[in-house]
Structure 1
Amino acid sequence: MSGEVNIKRLAQELNLSIATVSKALNDSYEISLKTKTRVLTLAKELNYTPNPAASNLRSNKTKTIAVIIPNIANNFFSLAIKGIEEIARQYGYHVLIYQTHEDIETEMLFTNSLLNGRVDGILTSVSSNEYNNDYYRDLVKKIPLVFFDRVYESLDAFKITTDDYQISFNATEHLIECGCTQIAYLYGLEKLPAGRTRFAGYKDALAAHGISIDENLILHYQPEENENVTNIVNLFQSHKPDAIFSSIEEFAIPAYLACKELKLQIPDDVKIISFSNLSSAKLLNPSLTTITQPAFEIGIEAAKCLFKILTKRGIGDDQNIVLKSVLIKRESTGCWEKPA
């Protein structure tokens, strides 16, 4: 038989229905391995090439998902995207990536532009400059949406987070066990649940060890790195903390730069710990003790949840998934056991 090689022709030659052939080509669980093998073998022999545009038109699917994040240069988000892309490829989906640069107006502009059928679903880690719960409460009703890392807790949606409270408690306790009592807290994400939860872990660890919280030792994040360096320098000069707990990666390098400017020795004069997925953390001098989030795994789980929605297989599943971060002790906190 000559002519165009399409699903209809494959079905005729195999004496199968068009629906069966289509499902076999898409690796549907409804089709037996024997039938899939027959279909794929003939498709290969006849050099069958699928027409994705026609397939998507019939299914009303774009085979595309969007990922909206604050900053792709952040090590956490670049690793999370790798996890998302791995799952998307398994489903034959493309991934569009949008950066908001922590701007809520840009974030809304992106999401609104995607509601016209351009993508089948959205994965997002929200901006930190404004709490926008009402907007997202409406958005989750319009398009499949999964939150990861930075989430809105009250929404009826899948949310993939880490154990921010417990790991912050453990990190603060580590500094206390290293002899620190004047622990400065570099506060980021303060308008979001993740930031507030990390701060709660820090405060409760101090209280558990009978240490009163000193508001003078709390420093709030600023968008400009130089401003953060200056503020940390002023903090050292005014209140002389013996440790720094950085709640976000963006504070880590400014903390080192401030110590360098003041000729403070880490960890002898001050100990430093930071949330960070910096691959270079172990190469800093001294190496940085980090709270490392399972960013790649978070991306994997977030994408899996989105495809549960898209395939209608996630109904009734627990929507709150919490993964564990790891406290990696290195030289910057001074009381660690170097691996053999």
Structure 2
Amino acid sequence: MSHITIIELAERLGLSKSTVSRAFRDGNDINPNTKARILKMADELGFSPNMYASNLRANKSSTIAIIIPEFGNKFFSQAIKGIELVARSKNYHTLIYVTDHRVDKEASIIRSLINGRVDGVIMSASGEGHDHSHLQVLKDNNIPVVFFDRTYDDVNTSYVTGNDFEASFAATEHLIENDCRRIAYLVINQNVSIGKVRMAGYQAALEKYKIPFDANLVLDTVNESEGNMEDIKNLYKIQKPDGLFASVERLAISAMRVAKDQGINIPSELKLICFSCLDIADLLEPGLSVVKQPAYEMGKTATEYLCQLIAKPISFSNQEVTYLESSLIFQKSSKKNH
């Protein structure tokens, strides 16, 4: 009985083939009681529809691509959990691609997706380069894209991110309130969207407290620990900051390693706060103060938007941004001794 066809199932039920077919799609174009009757009979007879074949006929893959710059931090793993939760609930599969922060690799990945492999793309921009024409290929092939965390400002679509300006302002203000006056801003590629916004929040807090901005205290460093540790060590030796605001988690970890290696006491000599989704920040010594992003919620929200765009395409005249609240958790690394 497992080889029963959809035509035979329709005959058993006294319904048309198209009515039976609609019962296996995630739509509301069929009476719920009729759908329940069809699914019950299908289960009894061991009928399983060939969804792959029907997807090909409908020119749909039921697959979403996730494009991220890296795997190497907790933020992206949490975001992917949120993406996959919503994707599964909407009967989508996911494919994950990693750009290694390279726009040429990002462009190559996107070009590989246009032959019906995916119905939509959720991406966090690689951040490299000024030419984003490769994304036009998606538009030309009616494949919607939604950005999360990192975006390209010149691409008009939905973008889901944290309230990075306000969070960066509050993080810098916290360091100032704990007696820091020479606060260094640590970033990997300050030209990427989040790098620019977080730096703007940092500068705004300095301005509020009439602390002159010093470009020598901005460290735009590399993405691997050996190189950025050397840069942080030189920054400390030459500029003698009393506070560090790290725009990404790995720079805070590198800073803690440099401090340990150089005998710099955190927090009495150097205070530290960073953007991070690290679950064990409180177990570090000293406990690490963090701006904790809503990574999981970001992934969920971006996927909900993408599914809406797949179902009902929209032409955007500008970028529509959704801001989600980050939470600031102040621990020992950023607090003055009482």
| Band the TM-score falls in, shorter-chain normalisation | over 0.9
State the 1:145 CA deviation.
Answer: 1.2
Task: Give the corresponding residue for 2:215.
Answer: 215
CA distance in 2 between partners of 1:155 and 1:279 (Å): 33
Contact 1:130 1:191 in 2 (8 A): no
CA distance in 1 between partners of 2:337 and 2:197 (Å): 26
Aligned in 2, Cα 1:95/1:168: closer, same or farther, shift over 3 Å? same
State the 1:234 CA deviation.
Answer: 1.4
Task: Give the corresponding residue for 1:166.
Answer: 166
Aligned in 2, Cα 1:313/1:36: closer, same or farther, shift over 3 Å? farther
Aligned pair count? 336
Which deviates the most, 326-335 or 105-114?
Answer: 326-335
Task: Give the corresponding residue for 1:321.
Answer: 322
Task: Give the corresponding residue for 1:179.
Answer: 179
**What is the identity, as a one-letter code, of the residue corresponding to 2:301?**
E
CA-to-aligned-CA distance 1:259-279 (integer Å, 9 cap, x gap): 111111111111100011122
Task: Give the corresponding residue for 1:90.
Answer: 89
CA distance in 1 between partners of 2:201 and 2:172 (Å): 8
CA distance in 1 between partners of 2:313 and 2:33 (Å): 25
**What is the identity, as a one-letter code, of the residue corresponding to 2:22?**
K
CA-to-aligned-CA distance 1:248-305 (integer Å, 9 cap, x gap): 1221111001111111111111110001112222221111111111111111111111
Q: Does 1:232 align with 2:222?
A: no
SS of the aligned residue for 2:146 comes to strand
State the 1:159 CA deviation.
Answer: 1.0
SS of the aligned residue for 1:322 comes to strand
Which deviates the most, 93-102 or 53-62?
Answer: 53-62
Contact 1:305 1:314 in 2 (8 A): no
State the 1:15 CA deviation.
Answer: 2.1
Contact 2:156 2:316 in 1 (8 A): no
Which deviates the most, 313-322 or 127-136?
Answer: 313-322
SS of the aligned residue for 1:285 comes to coil
CA distance in 1 between partners of 2:193 and 2:2 (Å): 60
**What is the identity, as a one-letter code, of the residue corresponding to 2:14?**
N
Task: Give the corresponding residue for 1:122.
Answer: 121
Aligned in 2, Cα 1:316/1:69: closer, same or farther, shift over 3 Å? closer
Cα RMSD over matched residues? 2.2
Task: Give the corresponding residue for 2:18.
Answer: 19
SS of the aligned residue for 2:272 comes to strand
Task: Give the corresponding residue for 2:300.
Answer: 300
Task: Give the corresponding residue for 1:332.
Answer: 333
Which runs of no fewer than 5 residues in structure 1 stay unpaired? none
Aligned in 2, Cα 1:324/1:3: closer, same or farther, shift over 3 Å? closer
Task: Give the corresponding residue for 2:154.
Answer: 154
Aligned in 2, Cα 1:40/1:130: closer, same or farther, shift over 3 Å? same
Identity %: 42
State the 1:82 CA deviation.
Answer: 1.0
CA distance in 2 between partners of 1:314 and 1:34 (Å): 33
Aligned in 2, Cα 1:253/1:3: closer, same or farther, shift over 3 Å? closer
**What is the identity, as a one-letter code, of the residue corresponding to 1:33?**
P
CA distance in 2 between partners of 1:313 and 1:31 (Å): 23
Contact 1:186 1:244 in 2 (8 A): yes
Task: Give the corresponding residue for 1:63.
Answer: 62
Task: Give the corresponding residue for 1:275.
Answer: 275
Which runs of no fewer than 5 residues in structure 2 stay unpaired? none
SS of the aligned residue for 1:140 comes to helix
State the 1:3 CA deviation.
Answer: 8.4
Which deviates the most, 303-312 or 313-322?
Answer: 313-322
State the 1:210 CA deviation.
Answer: 0.9
**What is the identity, as a one-letter code, of the residue corresponding to 1:209?**
Y
